Amino acid sequence: MEKISFINQKAQPLFEAILDFRPTLNFNILKSALRKKDIKVNDVKVKDNLLLNIGDKVEFYINSRKNKKIDVIFEDENILIVFKPAGVETTLKDKTYLNSKSLEELVGAKACHRLDKNTEGLVVLAKNIESENCLIDAFRKHKIKKEYIAVVSGNINKNGENLENYIKKEQNFVKICSKNDKNAKIAKLSYVPISSKNDLSMLKINLETGRTHQIRVQLAHQGIFVLGDEKYGDREINKKYHKTKQLLCACELTFDKLSFPLAYLSNKKFEVAPSFEVENI
């Protein structure tokens, strides 16, 4: 934890005062500190982005995290494909820790899709605007196939399943909804079991759409819970196996026919192994 303190110089909201004093922070960091009651004004803990007066003393604590090593799977003059470890935010705007760096900052390229902070696996980043536009268009048109591996508990169909639901995001939570709900988006995936041990199974998951939290939400709706998932998962199972980060890995990327300047990547596949195996849990 880093302690920061200063005397406010003008009438302004708390967050604006902090950002004036430390411009490298962002609203996500400050909201997190506020929720944890890590901000004091005149020696009193505050819970709102209140209006400060001239001369108010502000003290706050910010979590710091060490940066993790990023393994490069493929690189050329246009793109980077890397293995993002769990615990690293994909983009700069996702970042919530002062002294940590997002994946984009660590490798110096622009992420064209994202993985949740606690999901590990392959991420594609662009090194120029032409490649960025090509990749974003390819993801939007489903020309890049994504497969995941997860360790789960619950009601597994031994023959696998195809799941199709409508989901919508409400603040930081995603839920299954009706097709007619406002902001509803279709989510499609399929899974097959590939191994098991006791009450756990390892699944290979094929994503047909790329929605926020899609895998965890759709599986949970079926009574299948990604081990270590504290938001949609089974907390008793997580506690039993001492897991606090979801065991979910984006393990495979396959490029369909891409356009200029990435046409040379058409029909190429990139694979990694997850950092976990059900047999070793």
Q: Which of 21, 45, 62 is the last residue of a domain?
A: 62
pTM score of the predicted model = 0.76
Contacts (Cβ under 8 Å, ≥6 apart) of 108: none
The whole-number pLDDT of residue 135 equals 97
Lowest-confidence range among 72-81, 97-106, 195-204, 213-222?
Answer: 97-106
Tell me: pLDDT of 265 over 60: yes
Question: Within this chain, do residues 166 and 76 fall inside the same structural domain, yes or no?
Answer: yes
Give CA angle at 231 (119, 1), nearest 5°. 75
The CATH number of the domain holding residue 37 is 3.10.290.10
When pLDDT is cut at 50, 70 and 90, the band that residue 184 belongs to is: very high
Give CA angle at 175 (174, 176), nearest 5°. 140
Give per-residue pLDDT as tens, 254-263. 999 999 999 9
Tokens at 244, concatenated: 């606090």
Residue type, 250: A
* DSSP β-bridge partners for residue 189: 163, 207
Q: What is the mean pLDDT of residues 45-64?
A: 88
Burial class of residue 71 (count of CB atoms within 10 Å of its CB; 0-12, 13-18, 19+)? exposed
Q: Residue 108: which domain range?
A: 71-280
The whole-number pLDDT of residue 227 equals 98
Tell me: pLDDT of 94 over 70: no
For the chain, what is the domain count?
A: 2
Q: What is the mean pLDDT of residues 164-172?
A: 93
When pLDDT is cut at 50, 70 and 90, the band that residue 124 belongs to is: very high
Dist CA 20 CA 14 (whole Å): 10
